[in-house]
Amino acid sequence: MLLMSERHLPQAVERLVPELQGVFGTRLRSVAVYGDAVHLGGVDSHDSRQIHTIAIVDDLPAAELRACAGLAASWQRRGLATPLLLSGTDLQRSLDAFPMEFDQIIADHQMAFGDDPFAVLRVAEADLRRACEAQARSHALHLRQSYLECAAQPASLARIVSASAVPFRALLTAVGRLHGERAPLDAAGLARVAARASLDAATVTQMLACAAGTPVNATDAEAIFPSYLEAAEQLVRHVDAWRA
């Protein structure tokens, strides 16, 4: 049965459930929405964001996958990302392989159909910390590498800062989950994470403004980049030393 919720399901998801039932029949166990659509009530045709869903089925034979492939173009036109299709066993065994992704889904999702498979799942803190460290180290490494490749040219540096702002916010959100913060984090929540990690508050404020769409010009980028790189490196040190 389709579940009712205080948060209205995006119309595209309401159509998705019977489509998946038509493919998998009674072997479809649950469908959940995660990501921005949980809080925004979906996206419209002018929005570049997609609605993300995950479906749990008993098994995934090739014939059913071909049937789903035939629906993919329709899903895309309706603003749906291709659903994640997993068996219950796959879901449980994937928690350590994709800890950040599944920890976020577990913490913040909306059921569209069936029982909630995430109610009894938990990502191990050690797996989450290791994934956070990998992401933090990658972020700092790419900032340094990009700086060298752009030869410190201000215009190029502005593009680097702008392009990396949203991933930086996502990284802060991930580190926040180590400290018990749950997505989505508002400005106050992200500030708490930054303070716990001993990041420069002014730098974090500037980067979060950039992530929210405030343009960064060449002069601003040249001024902020050294402190931004230091914040990224400090985040690595914080996660590396973190203990539950």
- In the structure, what pLDDT confidence band is assigned to residue 48 with cuts at 50, 70 and 90? low
Q: Is 55 strand, coil or helix?
A: strand
Q: Is 80 strand, coil or helix?
A: strand
Measure the CA–CA gap between 157 and 149, rounded to whole angstroms. 10
Model confidence over 79-125: pLDDT tens digits? Answer: 999 999 999 899 999 999 999 999 989 988 999 999 999 999 999 99
Model confidence over 189-198: pLDDT tens digits? Answer: 999 999 999 9
| Of 89, 168, 95, 172, nearest in space to 128 by CA | 95
Instruction: Map out the domains of the chain as residue ranges.
Output: 11-114, 125-241
Give 162-185 as a DSSP string: HHHHHHHHHHHHHHHHHTT--SSP
Model confidence over 3-23: pLDDT tens digits? Answer: 434 457 888 999 999 999 999
Tell me, what amino acid is at 188?
Answer: A
Measure the CA–CA gap between 182 and 236, rounded to whole angstroms. 20
Secondary-structure class of domain 11-114 per CATH: alpha beta
Cβ–Cβ < 8 Å for 114, 142: no
Cβ–Cβ < 8 Å for 178, 125: yes
Model confidence over 144-196: pLDDT tens digits? Answer: 999 999 988 999 999 999 999 999 999 999 999 999 887 778 889 999 999 99
Give alpha helix (H) positions in the chain: 11-24, 37-40, 62-69, 72-77, 88-94, 99-107, 125-149, 154-178, 187-196, 201-211, 218-241
> In the sheet that 28-34 helps form, which strands lie side by side, from edge to edge?
84-87, 52-57, 28-34, 109-114
Percent of the chain with pLDDT over 90: 82
* Contact residues for 225 (Cβ-Cβ < 8 A; gap 6+): 147, 157, 160, 161
Residue showing tokens 């071909």: 66
Provide the CB-side half-sphere exposure for 152 (13 A, CA): 4
Structure tokens at 165: 């702002």
